[in-house]
Amino acid sequence: MIRDFIRRRSINLGLVMTGGCNGCDIEIVALLSQRYDLEQYGIFYHNNPRECDALLVTGTVAKQWQEKLVELYNKVPEPKAVVAIGACALSGGIFQQETGKVAAPVREIIPVDAEVPGCPPRPAEIAIAVLKHVPPALASYRRKS
Amino acid sequence: MSYLPFGPIHPALKEPLRIKLKTEGERVVDAEVDLGFIYRGAEQIARGKPWQKVAYLTERICGICSDAHPHTFIEGLEAISDCVPPVRAQYSRVIMGELNRIHSHLIANAIWFLAVEHETLGIYNLNIREKVMDLLEMISGNRVLYSWNLVGGVRMDFKESHLKKILENLKEVESEVYRYRKMFKSDALLGLRSHDVGKMSKEDAIDVRAVGPVARGSGVKFDWRTKHPTYVDYFDFQPVWRDECDNYARVMMRFDEVLDSIKIIRRAVEELPDGPIRKECEIPRGSIDYRYEAPRGELAYIFETAQHGIINDITIRTPTIPNLEACVKHMFRDSPTIADAVAIYQTIDPCIACTERVVIVDEKGNENDFRGMQNVLKELKALKNKKK
């Protein structure tokens, strides 16, 4: 119980870019700036999936990522949450066409707890999604073993 | 001798890419790059679509230089149809393009400072960048993707209040960038990580065809803006360049270009002529190779149109492709430590979302990317049908 309480106040984020245009990623990087200041909410952003609590997935899942994303998800320590960000991660966006090489949406590949629509979403929207949905998702996470 | 792979997911990398470093102790001797993690097939989607849809798609090839891609594509279409947009439209394209360049260079430097663990300057850069993002949002309505260019002009007009706000914010950005430039210049720790690290001589830069700030940091005095009609006619543009050839030169280059861009925007805002912002153009059948200076360097759009602006075939060559080769082939050589290799990699301002293109090289080493691409696809289709 204490662990859950503390985990709610210290979320480590890992970013996975699986295609798309980088637009969502620079909006996540913009969250580090003083205007949004992600760390004041106890959220620490780095890029290491083995140490993170919540995985931010952006981009159309390119065909090469389809299996790797599942592997990566399994490597994140439990309990874990996933936030899918941007139109590409939600539906494939503009790349979801007959000739596209895309396996989106993300929710069909790994379980997703929150989705942020937009092309790209504003930084504040991403911060709100993480703050609102990641702590309950971590608290109600059911361990596999 | 041992190999150290880093990527596709790595704390230092924002985008998936694998670099295999060949090391002797801490010293990096050689490197290999493995691309292809986020290939989406933008060219194949573009084929057979009207230009309006393709312009929308080109914007989503890269989110950082999201003005440069449609800018190049649309100006290429205008060159095919011999249609010169009104002067006010040309000026507003310059303003938008340079604002885009400023925000791209600031985030590039911010990520470099974060990569060498100098968080103060990294966060400062990100913070001042928000001022520029505010301007972009105010003008176009979106922070990242602007949809600014159309054939024959631009989508919206500037208001008086917009111009006032641009000058106001840029004044702040300018004074701050001068301050960060001075901090970077005089910081001893940053000097250790930047001076004489990642050397690439002018000859090597020309040899691997490095482009943009990477080439100009090595003393190559070339910029596609010196050949761009608007810059030639109204701005008498001169490229900035440095001859230190190392990390320091490349980071400093970006600061210098930001200051240069601010001067261009200020001039454009002050001299902005009155008049219409769009005129009618008809797109005939034709083909073109059009180049423009994106924030990272030369961006080439080689395409062919059918009647009424349908895109028959398109090839996009983005600046990170030669720059990545320059980094791997010349800069990583004799990098003193592995931590420096990460710093070197960030100075070329890599954009992997741009880079995931297909270039086909045949057995003799000839590049066929224009008409050749379609032939290869035909062959692949024939093979598929055979298997069925």
In terms of domains, do B383 and B296 share one?
A: no
Q: For residue B331, report the phi and psi dihedrals to the nearest 5 degrees.
A: -75, -35
Which chain B residues are closer than 8 Å to A15 by Cβ?
Answer: 14
CATH of A2-139, one of 3.30.70.270, 3.40.50.2300, 1.10.10.10, 3.40.50.12280: 3.40.50.12280
Q: Could you say which of B320, B338, B370 is where a domain stops?
A: B320
Within 13 A of A51's CA, how many CA atoms are on the CB side? 10
Cβ of A93 within 8 Å of Cβ of B60? The answer is yes
Rounded to whole angstroms, the Cα distance separating B261 from B52 reads 29
How many degrees, rounded to 5, is the angle at CA B151 between CA B87 and CA B295? 75
Per-residue pLDDT, averaged over A67-86, amounts to 89
- For B354-364, how does the pLDDT look when each residue is reduced to its tens digit (9 = 90+)? 887 765 555 66
Token digits for A139?
């608290």
Residues A14/A46, Cβ–Cβ less than 8 Å? yes
State the virtual CA torsion across B292, B295, B298, B301 in degrees, nearest 10: -50
Structure tokens at B323: 């720059």
When pLDDT is averaged across residues B236-263 and rounded to a whole number, the result is 91
Q: How far apart are CA B21 and CA B313, in angstroms?
A: 37
**A56 and B CB contact within 8 Å:** no
The pLDDT, as a whole number, for residue B372 is: 43
From B300, B320, B340, the end of a domain falls on: B320
Which of A17, A68, A102 is nearest residue B40 as measured by Cβ atoms?
A102
Percentage above 90 pLDDT, chain A:
18
Enter the ipTM: 0.91
Q: Is B22 exposed, middle or buried (CB count within 10 Å of its CB: 0-12, 13-18, 19+)?
A: middle
- How many CB atoms neighbour CB B61 within 10 A? 26
> Are residues B243 and B384 both part of a single domain?
no
Give the residue extent of every domain in chain A. Answer: 2-139
Q: What CA–CA distance (Å, rounded) separates A105 from B121?
A: 37
Closest CB from B15, B44, B133 relative to A22: B15
Beta bridge partners, A79, equal none
Are both B223 and B367 inside the same structural domain?
no
B130 touches B138 (CB < 8 A): no
Asked whether the CA dihedral A27, A33, A38, A41 is positive or negative, the reply is negative
Q: Answer yes or no: do B291 and B380 share one domain.
A: no
Split at pLDDT 50, 70, 90, the class of B132 is: very high
pLDDT tens for B256-286 read: 999 999 999 999 999 999 999 999 988 898 8
Give the tokens for residue B356: 């995931």
Q: Which of B10-19, B122-131, B138-147, B301-310 has the lowest mean pLDDT?
A: B10-19
The tokens describing B169, both together, are: 């914010």
Q: What's the average model confidence in pLDDT over B203-212?
A: 87
Query: At B263, which helix (H) or strand (E)?
Result: helix B247-271
- What pLDDT does residue B371 have? 42
Domain membership of residue B367 (yes or no) is yes
pLDDT band at A37 (very low <50, low <70, confident <90, very high): confident
CB spacing of B143 vs A32 below 8 angstroms: no
Residues B72 and B162 in one domain: yes
CB atoms within 10 A of CB A111: 12
Quick one: average pLDDT of A137-143? Answer: 81
Query: Which of B11-15, B68-72, B123-127 has the least mean pLDDT?
Result: B11-15
State how many domains chain B has: 2
The predicted structure's pLDDT at residue A62: 84
Residue B264 located in a structural domain: yes
Tell me which chain A residue has its CA closest to the CA of residue B108: A26
Percent of chain B residues topping a pLDDT of 70: 94
Helix (H, G, I), strand (E, B) or coil at B273: coil
Question: Looking at residue B294, what DSSP letter applies?
Answer: E
Q: Among positive and negative, which fits the CA dihedral A137, A139, A140, A145?
A: positive
Rounded mean pLDDT of B88-113? 92
Rounded to whole angstroms, what are the CA distances from B55 to B68, B127, B175, B312?
Answer: 11, 30, 36, 14
Q: What is the CATH number of the domain that holds B199?
A: 1.10.645.10
- On whether both B213 and B162 belong to a single domain, the answer is yes
Q: How far apart are CA B63 and CA A87, in angstroms?
A: 13
The whole-number pLDDT of residue B366 equals 57
B289: in domain: yes
Provide the residue range defining the domain that includes B387.
Answer: 358-388
CB B40 within 8 A of CB A102: yes
Query: What does the block give as tokens for A85?
Result: 């960000």
Contact A101 B57 (CB under 8 A): no
Looking at the structure, do residues B218 and B362 belong to the same domain, yes or no? no
- Radius of gyration of the CA atoms of chain B, in A: 21
| Residues B279-294, mean pLDDT to the nearest whole number | 89
Q: How far is A85 from chain B (nearest CA, A)?
A: 14
In chain A, what is the greatest distance between 2 CA atoms, to the nearest angstrom?
Answer: 51
Cα dihedral: B78, B62, B266, B216 (round 10): -100
Q: Name the phi and psi angles at B16, rounded to 5.
A: -70, 130
- Whether the predicted pLDDT of A70 surpasses 50: yes
Structure tokens at A117: 């629509």
Residue ranges of alpha helices (H) inside B81-201 are 87-115, 119-140, 160-186, 188-194
On chain A, the residues whose CB falls within 8 A of the CB of B123 are: 32-34
Beta bridge partners of A62: A102
